[in-house]
Each structure stands twice: as C-alpha cells, then as structure tokens.
C-alpha cells in the first residue's frame, strides 16, 4: 500500500512498519527524536523504531517510537513543505491517504 501526499514519490508501508521510498530509503524521525518539532527526513533504512510508522484508520500516521503524528509544518501544502513530528490534533496537516 502506498502513502500519497508527496508528489512524484511513491512510499510503501512494509510489513515491518517502515515507509520506504527509492528502494532503500526510509522515512525517519531525525536523531531518533521523539518530541514535538522533531524533523522527519529520508534516511538509509536501518529498522530502528524511529523508522517505524502506524497508518491509522483516522488518516494519521504516527511514529511507533514517539506516538506523535506526522505533521506538515505550518499546514503547508506546497512542494518542499517540511515534515515533523507533532502531538496529534486532527488537523488537515496531519491527514494522509493511502492508495493501492
């Protein structure tokens, strides 16, 4: 199943709960951070908890390690918008969709 919010990038949610792209890169909570404002980056896959994500029925994506939501900084929608971890609040900037 792919996660779609990023344009021209197809993310795959794997059985070990990583979100992968470009074959061998993973969505990663930078520096294994687990607090509001921790940057989310593309990093070499290593299987650590800061690279594991839950796709939730409410459309949020939460970090296994932190329990925080994947959040578009400043509610941005443009290409290049930064992502970070933030307490879940149900805002549109924390809503993600999947496609087969």
Phi-psi sector, 94: left (phi>0), alpha (psi -120 to 50), beta: alpha
- The residue assigned the tokens 């290049």 is 80
Question: What is the pLDDT, as a whole number, of residue 52?
Answer: 98
Give per-residue pLDDT as tens, 44-68.
999 999 999 999 999 999 999 999 9
- The residue assigned the tokens 């990663």 is 28
Question: What is the pLDDT, as a whole number, of residue 14?
Answer: 94
Q: Which residues of the chain have pLDDT under 50?
A: 1-7
- CATH 3.10.150.10 is held by the domain 2-99: no
The torsion of the CA quartet 4, 9, 81, 88, rounded to 10 degrees, works out to: 40
Q: What residue ranges do the domains of the chain occupy?
A: 2-99
Question: What is the pLDDT, as a whole number, of residue 80?
Answer: 85
Question: What is the pLDDT, as a whole number, of residue 8?
Answer: 55
CA atoms within 13 A on the CB side of 51: 21
Return the bridge partners of 84, or none.
39, 71
């Amino acid at each position: 199943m792919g996660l779609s919010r990023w344009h021209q990038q197809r993310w795959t949610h794997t059985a070990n709960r990583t979100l992968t792209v470009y074959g061998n890169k993973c969505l990663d909570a930078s520096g294994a951070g687990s607090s509001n404002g921790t940057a989310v980056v593309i990093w070499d896959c290593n299987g650590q908890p800061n690279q594991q994500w839950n796709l939730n029925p409410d459309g949020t994506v939460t970090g296994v390690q932190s329990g925080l939501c994947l959040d578009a900084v400043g509610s941005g929608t443009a290409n290049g918008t930064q992502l970070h971890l933030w307490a879940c609040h149900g805002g549109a900037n924390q809503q993600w969709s999947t496609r087969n």
